[in-house]
C-alpha cells in the first residue's frame, strides 16, 4: 500500500496556463520526490492596462511518501 501526500501551490507564467503548470511541477520537484499527479484547482490572470500580463494556477501536487 502506498501512502500519498498532497501540497497546494500557486504558480505563474507570462506565457500560458500550461507553462504555469509546468513551472509549478518542476519547481516542486526540486524539493519533493516521487510526484505522481497535479490537479489544477483554479486558473486566473493578472491584467494590467487592459492586457493579460500573467497566467496563474492554484494546484494540488500529490506525491508518494516512501
Place of cell 504555469: 20
Beta bridge partners of 63: 5, 35
Q: Are the CB atoms for 5 and 62 separated by under 8 Å? A: yes
Distance between CA atoms of 34 and 66, rounded to whole angstroms? 8
State the pLDDT at residue 1: 85
Indicate the burial class of 42 (C-beta count within 10 angstroms; 0-12, 13-18, 19 or more).
exposed
Beta bridge partners of 56: 12, 44
State the pLDDT at residue 66: 86
| Spans of the chain below 70 pLDDT | none
pTM of the model: 0.89
Amino acid at each position: 500500500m502506498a501512502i500519498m501526500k498532497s501540497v497546494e501551490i500557486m504558480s505563474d507564467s507570462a506565457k500560458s496556463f500550461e507553462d504555469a503548470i509546468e513551472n509549478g511541477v518542476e519547481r516542486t520537484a526540486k524539493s519533493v520526490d516521487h510526484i505522481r499527479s497535479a490537479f489544477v484547482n483554479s486558473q486566473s490572470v493578472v491584467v494590467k492596462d487592459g492586457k493579460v500580463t500573467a497566467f496563474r494556477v492554484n494546484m494540488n501536487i500529490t506525491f508518494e511518501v516512501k
